[in-house]
Amino acid sequence: MAAVIKIFDTTLRDGEQSPGCSMNLQEKLEMAKQLERLRVDTIEAGFAAASPGDLLAIQAVAREIQDCQVASLARALTKDIDAAWEAVREAASPRIHTFIATSDIHMQYKLRKSPEQVLEQAVEMVKYAKKYCSDVQFSAEDATRSNPEFLYRVIEAVIKAGATVINIPDTVGYITPWEFTDLITNLFEKVPNIDQVDVAVHCHNDLGLAVANSLAAVGAGVNQIECTINGIGERAGNAALEEIVMGLVVRRDFYNVDTKIDTTQIYRTSRLLSSITGVTVQPNKAIVGANAFAHESGIHQHGVLANKSTYEIMTPASIGLAENKMVLGKHSGRHAFEDRLISLGYELTKEQLDTAFEQFKRLADKKKVVTDLDIEALVQQKTFNIPETYRLKRFVINSGSTITATATVYLETLEFPKEAVSTGDGPIDAAFKAIDQIVGIEFELDTFTINAVSEGKDAQGEVIVKLAKDGKLYTGRGLSTDIIESSIKAYLNAINKMLDELRYTKRIDADD
């Protein structure tokens, strides 16, 4: 019988630390629910001690998720562990994940502690966490650059103190697969009580080896892999969940292990994360990139037409990339629309379904055929219930090669409708400046991206903007067959997120 590798997803913690990938509470909840559908074993929902907002977001995930463990990260400090327990205590299956650095360079320059002090602190904090929670994970930060003999001592001691999972992170993406195999093999040989715990690895991608190192560790005997969707994370990112899982699936003959992951949810999970963060996946990205199942070479096309296995080692369906089998248009009814959503893996509330169907009907009046990609884009846009402080009512653009672009924007607000007129370097710039006048806040446009959701001249245009304000980035997303309307909606979406966060922060401060 094949061993089962546990998948520990840290998209909501390490992944969110990636610049431009921050999520609000509603987005974290939606992502967590999708990770639950993906059937990951553990969701690391955040770093509770980082901020009151992080703690509340982890609490919300812990209350919502029933079929996965929910973990919070904590430094090996009592205040961090207290916060972590407060965050996960209501989870169906809680875990406290505490860590301290064990490499000479980290101990000397970051911690300013001796190895003996680090060992003592690791043991005491695992014991402290154990008073709260039966499931305690310990990570030796920068383990792959640590003195091996000291690493073995620390691990043996924290297992005696009550740790149930030992994690060996390649924190800076330094190690090679061959060295990692030796390190894990030696760990099993030289730590006498290592058989009492699960052994995990957490690999970063600074040298492009995160997935290779993770799979090498599986070959050496670990039984938990830490990873993120699309490989997002600090610096060059983390090991990508989809690549690890499909590597184990496709090469089961080599690794002889299984996971609990529902691989048909992989594509949807990847798309959802891109939608939330505004960070698109590169076309040549393994497994979930736009070109992963595309064939342009004549030789390749001939082979695939004769037998798909000539150039495809996995099927699009195996990751949930379905073919469009039902044509939906303006004459399609609610039942057909709901049926299509279910087949795509979406579970909407009645209110969300009502809104999505209304948007679908409007889109169907503009397009002859509504594709699966169109439907996914609509649903993802309507999933997050961000209060609309400002909503687009209408706009008028005057632009041309011989005149200065002018935009008149009319917004519905919580108080009363407001209108502004502005000029700019093009119609979109003019519209954004008009919105700034209404809102009374000037933003810095950090990123502006346009994507075609589907093919054809009537394709929906998806615009993603990132607005910078007071050192923070706010991601907005807009969707329309009119690219200027998409841009205005994206800009307003980012502003509404910022205002909602400010209200949320004020509520937290008031409670404190």
Would you say 137 and 167 are in contact if contact means Cβ atoms under 8 Å apart? yes
pLDDT digits (tens, 9 = 90+) for 290-343: 888 765 445 544 564 566 666 678 888 899 886 544 457 767 777 778 877 776
Confidence grade of residue 509 (pLDDT, cut at 50, 70, 90): low
Tokens of 290: 């736009």
| Gyration radius (Cα) of the chain, Å | 25
Lowest average pLDDT, out of 162-176, 298-312, 491-505, goes to 298-312
Amino acid at position 472, single letter: K
Q: How many Cβ atoms are within 10 Å of 221's Cβ, its own excluded?
A: 14
User: In a 10 Å sphere around its CB, with 0-12 CB exposed, 13-18 middle and 19+ buried, how is residue 470 labelled?
Assistant: exposed
pLDDT digits (tens, 9 = 90+) for 19-55: 667 788 888 999 999 999 999 999 999 999 998 889 9
Confidence grade of residue 505 (pLDDT, cut at 50, 70, 90): low
Local structure of 197: helix, strand or coil: coil
How far is the C-alpha of 127 from the C-alpha of 195, rounded, in Å?
19
DSSP string, 133-151: -S-EEEEEETGGGS-HHHH
Distance from CA of residue 123 to its chain's centroid?
32
What is the value of pTM for the model shown? Answer: 0.84
How far is the C-alpha of 58 from the C-alpha of 32, rounded, in Å?
10
The mean pLDDT of the chain is 89
Would you say 223 and 255 are in contact if contact means Cβ atoms under 8 Å apart? no
Selected residue with higher pLDDT from 271 and 254: 254
Question: Phi and psi for 435 in degrees, rounded to 5?
Answer: -65, -40
How far is the C-alpha of 368 from the C-alpha of 212, rounded, in Å?
45
List, in order of start, the domains of the chain with CATH numbers.
3-277 (3.20.20.70), 334-382 (no CATH), 390-511 (3.30.160.270)
Q: What is the pLDDT of residue 324?
A: 46
How far is the C-alpha of 373 from the C-alpha of 459, rounded, in Å?
10
Scanning 199-306, the segments in alpha helix (DSSP H) are 210-220, 241-250, 252-255, 266-277, 298-306
Amino acid at position 296, single letter: E
For the segment 486-506, the average pLDDT, to the nearest whole number, is 86
Candidates 230, 226, 314; CA nearest to 269 is 230
Q: What is the pLDDT of residue 393?
A: 94
Q: How many Cβ atoms are within 10 Å of 56's Cβ, its own excluded?
A: 18
Would you say 225 and 218 are in contact if contact means Cβ atoms under 8 Å apart? yes
pLDDT digits (tens, 9 = 90+) for 127-159: 999 999 999 999 999 999 999 999 999 999 999
pLDDT digits (tens, 9 = 90+) for 105-126: 999 999 999 999 999 999 999 9
Q: Is the pLDDT of residue 458 over 70?
A: no
Query: How many residues are recorded in the chain?
Result: 512
Q: Is the pLDDT of residue 385 over 70?
A: no
Pairing of strands 472-480, 403-413: unpaired
Would you say 226 and 238 are in contact if contact means Cβ atoms under 8 Å apart? yes
DSSP string, 400-442: ETTEEEEEEEEEEESSS-EEEEEEESSHHHHHHHHHHHHHT--
For the segment 448-473, the average pLDDT, to the nearest whole number, is 82
Candidates 275, 489, 290; CA nearest to 391 is 489
pLDDT digits (tens, 9 = 90+) for 209-262: 999 999 999 999 999 999 999 999 999 999 999 999 999 999 999 999 999 999
